[in-house]
Structure 1
Amino acid sequence: MSVIRRIVRLGQLPIPVRQYLLITANYWAFTLTDGALRMLVVLHFHTLGYSALQIALLFLFYEFFGVVTNLVGGWLGARIGLNRTMNLGLGLQLVALAMLLLPPVWLTVPWVMAAQAISGIAKDLNKMSAKSAIKTLVINPDNREGRLYHWVALLTGSKNALKGIGFFLGAALLTVLGFTSAILVMLSGLTLVWLVSLFSLRSGLGQAKLRPKFRDIFSKSRAVNILSAARLCLFAARDIWFVVALPVYLSTQFGWSYWLVGSFLALWVIGYGLVQTQAPRLTGRINTHSHTHGESFNPGAQAVYWAGMLACIPAGIALMLQLNFASEIGLSIGLLCFGAVFALNSSLHSYLIVSYADQDGVSMDVGFYYMANAMGRLLGTVLSGWVFQQWGLVACLWISSMLLCVTTLISIGLNNKNTELNK
């Protein structure tokens, strides 16, 4: 009876709230399979003898098509509605998973790269749709920006926590079921989510009043362009050591099992996601009951401060590894610190783009911003395999620190736009 009462209560919620919950559940399910698939591919193909650079190349098209998808997907969402782009993303992820069900001998590098390309398109369609839909559902003339920051942080943080659980799930499924059976389990679960989403998401969600032309895909907003450049460097700085270099390093240098590697990375991303949900409190001293801001809160200045703080951490980890000072413990603690500070940077950026984006056709600006995000991941992924194979993890960390210094310098431009939480 309690389950029935909860279902009835959900049905009595306002339509925007129900749509928000549905989009969030959709995004969660997709993220869970995406994180698991990433860990499955990295660990499985490392077992087959692939080098770090070869594993990085498996994700090359995943990241490259993320760049294209975000650029075009924002325009597409503004024209046909975010409900259609979100469902399209889920459907493409089902295709990508199905492609990996072939016998292992047929899973050649070009085939896996093609599957990852489709998965990259799916992921960014889904993410762009979810982030854009928040502004459409949450903001109205009576709302304040503090409420927007709260909901953006909640969605982003919960998504990343589930991505971490996905890493754990991927390692666990690979250990217990093997590669093919693990893919089949994920395919079955995501198919159910897709069917529910097809019949439940509201038609025309996020569709612009005036159909944008294709030439409008590039943002004309100075604030969006500066933020996008900072985002590119921020994510390149993370992925240069996180995507390939770190899992392989933990396995080869410290002798960690796949289960332990997957568990550690899962806990890292879960913690990272939990910190993101608290970003409004930690960066802006927001009162969550009244949704007002603390004294002279300036998100642009906060972005500069936290990017500068983050730049120090990979440099510190690199020094500890070079000096052989408690390498295993030092690396683990350093990674936890990096995850916490990176989470605040990422959450601030996620709020700022939704705040800066134009209300009509919000997906255009959000899509452009996540295009830069995907370009940063692409750069970081390629460098992760190449730099690690040539010079090792320490070199990856030093380059990461340099990229974060560039992020800090770019973010100074955001401080010129004093975007407060009360507008």
Structure 2
Amino acid sequence: MKALQSRLASLDRSIRQYLLITFNYWNFTITDGALRMLVVLHFHTLGYSPLEVAALFLFYEIFGVVTNLTGGWLGARLGLNRTMNIGLGMQIVALGMLTVPSTMLTVPWVMAAQALSGIAKDLNKMSGKSSIKMLVKDGNQGTLYKWIAILTGSKNALKGLGFFIGGLLLSTVGFKYAMVIMAAVLLVVLLLSLKMLDQDIGKAKNKAKFSEMFSKSGPINILSAARLFLFGARDVWFVIALPIYLGATFGWASSEVGGFMATWVIGYGFIQSIAPKVTGKNSDGRSAMVWAAALAIITAAVAYGVQTGWHPQAVIVIGLMIFGALFAINSSLHSYLIVAYAREDGVSLDVGFYYMANAMGRLLGTVLSGWIFELYGLDMCLWISAAFIALAAVISIGLPRVQQA
């Protein structure tokens, strides 16, 4: 621990804080991905229907919407270090709630734990991405895009690793001890963060008013609407439908499902981290529209392949890998644009509003994932996904160039 502290102390302040924020974000993300996979697979094994499994995540997504809206305001008033640490602490409590005996793991109890986890996740994400704005010199958009892409891409790669770890822990140590292990790791991370993270990073110079939670910026409102449909399009097939479909239709084991989901998200995260090289560092709103249109076409092609039953395993595995690559570029572009469009004083307010829309998209996608899959199957989930992405592309037409924001 002392050797690590001395090495960090020798680095430039902005680099040091960026590494600490990323370290927090990474560890939290692994537990978040593992927890999602553990809950989906464990409760499906217990006989829960796809819609009932989706219901377990309902409060997770609902409270994510509320947290992003209010979390930006809290970050501006308290400082982003505090909101990040609060998120870590709440995730530890949520994991602890799921260590109770199996007879106590009722639907309301699990939903309450998931609600706490949803609040924790969005406090952590909002704090991490908002902090980057404060560490990059004003006007250096290329560096901003690069740092955001690395943070976002590495986070999603590790979320994929979390999916794999979740499936592995479920098949080795079981549901309860998986929660104990993850809570212990996060406790160490929290203690390190409390000691080493700057105290006032992201704290607004003027006290943010509660009424300022809602964005008055045209570009941010447009980008937030596009983000809502983009993430609804992913989760409508990814969250509930795909894991259950792979096990029920193809007979994949829990570890195989977790491994595929992990590979998908790790690849997705890698593409996110190199997005500036693919799109160019001077990307703007027009780039977001073009890449969304390309993603809509690919999604429709995958949906058609699944519907017609043409080599379904190949279509799903290869088609969704292509989807992941294009989705990663879209997501990385959005993550950069929101930080670029956001004002510097009180950045967390704008970022929080944007991620509120992101959480609303996840909520919509999660509910539809269980409901549509149960009634109509995976192909209809994918058709709805294609329609949502097409809407995101149309909305993105109104996005300005970064220099105009």
TM-score (norm 2): 0.98
C-alpha distance in structure 1 between counterparts of 2:338 and 2:132, whole Å = 12
Q: Does 1:419 align with 2:402?
A: yes
**1:304-315 mapped onto 2 (5 Å cutoff):** 304-315=289-300
Give the distance between the partners of 2:351 and 2:383, measured in 1 at CA: 30
Look up the match of 2:240.
Answer: 244
Cα pair 1:29 1:190 within 8 Å, conserved: yes
- Distance in 2, matches of 1:192 and 1:391, equals 45
Residue 319 of structure 2 aligns with which residue? Answer: 334
Which residue of the other structure, out of 177, 180, 183, is the alignment partner of 1:181? 177
The residue correspondences of 1:309-328 to structure 2 (distance < 5 A) are 309-328=294-313
In structure 1, C-alpha distance between the alignment counterparts of 2:6 and 2:195, rounded to whole Å: 18
Secondary structure, aligned partner of 1:219: coil
Alignment partners' CA distance in 1, 2:239 and 2:319: 17
Q: Is the 1:387–1:396 Cα contact (8 Å) retained in structure 2?
A: yes
Q: Please list, as runs of the form range in 1=range in 2, the aligned pairs for 1:222-241 lying within 5 A after superposition.
A: 222-241=218-237
Asked whether the equivalents of residues 233 and 407 of structure 1 are also in contact (C-alpha less than 8 Å), the reply is: yes
Partner of 2:259: 263
Amino acid at match of 1:270: I
Measure how far apart 1:298 and its partner are. Answer: 4.3
Which structure 2 residues correspond to residues 337-348 of structure 1 after superposition, within 5 A? 337-348=322-333
1:170 pairs with 2:166: yes
Which of 123, 128, 131 aligns to 1:130? It is 128
Q: CA deviation at 1:217?
A: 0.5
Distance 1:274 1:204 in 2: 31
Structure 2: distance between partners of 1:298 and 1:315: 25
1:6-405 to 2 correspondences below 5 Å: 8-140=6-138, 144-284=140-280, 286=281, 297-405=282-390
Residue type of the alignment partner of 2:316: L
Query: Is the Cα–Cα contact under 8 Å of residues 61 and 113 in structure 1 kept in the other structure?
Result: yes
- What's the CA shift for 1:299? 1.4
Q: Distance in 2 between matches of 1:43 and 1:200?
A: 37
What amino acid is the match of 1:114?
A
Take 2:372 and 2:268, find their aligned partners in 1: how far apart are those partners? 25
Give me the whole-angstrom Cα distance separating, in 2, the residues matched to 1:420 and 1:5.
Answer: 43
* Contact 1:62–1:113, Cα closer than 8 Å, also in 2: yes
Instruction: Tell me which stretches of 4 or more aligned residues in structure 1 moved more than 2 Å.
Output: 3-10
Q: What is the Cα deviation at residue 5 of structure 1?
A: 7.2
Deviations 1:235-293 (CA, angstroms, capped at 9, x unpaired): 00000000000000000000011110000000000000000011001011x4xxxxxxx
Amino acid at match of 2:356: M
CA distance in 2, matches of 1:305, 1:42: 34
Per-residue Cα deviation, 1:310-345 (whole angstroms, up to 9, x for no partner): 111221112112222111011100010000000000
1 CA distance for matches of 2:169 and 2:206? 47
Shift of 1:200: 1.4
Q: Distance in 2 between matches of 1:418 and 1:205?
A: 28
Q: Deviations over 1:102-153 (max 9, x none)?
A: 001110000000000000000000000000000001234xx51100000000
Q: In 2, distance between residues paired with 1:246 and 1:4? A: 45
The SS at the match of 2:96 is: helix
Q: Equivalents in 2 of 1:259, 1:351: separation in Å?
A: 34
Percent sequence identity over matched residues? 61
Quote the Cα distance in structure 2 between the aligned partners of 1:9 and 1:194: 19
* Alpha carbons of structure 1 residues 6 and 80: separation in structure 2 relative to 1, 3 Å: closer
Cα distance, 1:298–1:8 mapped onto 2, change above 3 Å: closer
Secondary structure, in 3 states, of the residue corresponding to 1:276? helix
Query: Residue 395 of structure 1 aligns to which amino acid in structure 2?
Result: M
How far apart are the structure 1 equivalents of 2:142 and 2:242? 36
Residues matched between the structures, number: 405
The whole-number CA distance in structure 1 between the counterparts of 2:379 and 2:210 is 43
For 2:208 and 2:2, locate their aligned partners in 1 and report how far apart those are by CA, in whole Å.
44
How many Å separate the matches in 2 of 1:379 and 1:411?
20
**Equivalence for 1:289:** none
| Separation (CA, whole Å) in 1 of partners of 2:40 and 2:2 | 42
Give ranges in structure 2 of 5+ residues lacking alignment.
Answer: none
The DSSP-based 3-state class of the residue aligned with 2:204 is coil
Change (3 A) 1:5 1:96: closer
Partner SS, residue 413 of structure 1: coil
TM-score normalised to the size of structure 1?
A: 0.94
RMSD: 1.4
Q: Classify the secondary structure of the residue corresponding to 2:48.
A: coil
Greater alpha carbon shift after TM alignment, 298-307 vs 120-129: 298-307
Contact 1:88 1:125 in 2 (8 A): yes
Shift of 1:4: 8.0
Q: 1:223 to 1:257 in 2, by over 3 A?
A: same
Would you say the 8 A contact 1:298–1:420 is kept in 2? Answer: no
